[in-house]
């Protein structure tokens, strides 16, 4: 059987408006902003402690309204990728 996707309670969010805007969005929708993702400008790592840590379904709940915020250009719930040591 094809491996099923495994979703986490972490998100990658592309925000227009820099760190202050990212903090505002995180607070407004119940996330914790863990900061910019490496050197990728406008991309931030959001974490939501009140949703499933792991699930085979994408997350549901009011925190998904984040997607509709005009300041959010792109958003992706993080999937666990199967990686093997060689």
Distance (Å, whole) CA 35 – CA 7 = 20
Tell the smallest beta-carbon distance from residue 10 to other proteins (Å).
Answer: 6
> Which x/- pattern over 18-57 shows residues binding other proteins (rule: CB under 8 A)?
----------------x--xxxx--x-x--------x---
Residues 6+ away with beta carbon under 8 Å from 32: 26, 46, 47, 48, 49
Judged by CB under 8 A, which stretch of 8-16, 17-25, 62-70 contacts other proteins? 8-16
Distance (Å, whole) CA 9 – CA 16 = 22
80 binds other proteins (CB under 8 A): yes
Distance (Å, whole) CA 48 – CA 9 = 6
Residue numbers of the site for other proteins (CB under 8 A)? 2-3, 8, 10, 12, 34, 37-40, 43, 45, 54, 76, 78-86
């Amino acid at each position: 059987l094809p491996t099923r996707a495994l979703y986490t309670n972490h998100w990658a969010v592309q925000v227009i408006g820099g760190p202050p805007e990212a903090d505002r969005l995180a607070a407004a929708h119940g996330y914790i902003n863990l900061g910019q993702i490496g050197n990728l400008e406008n991309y931030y790592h959001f974490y939501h402690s009140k949703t499933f840590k792991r699930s085979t379904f994408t997350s549901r709940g009011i925190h998904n309204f984040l997607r509709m915020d005009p300041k959010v250009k792109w958003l992706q719930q993080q999937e666990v990728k199967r990686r093997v040591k060689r």
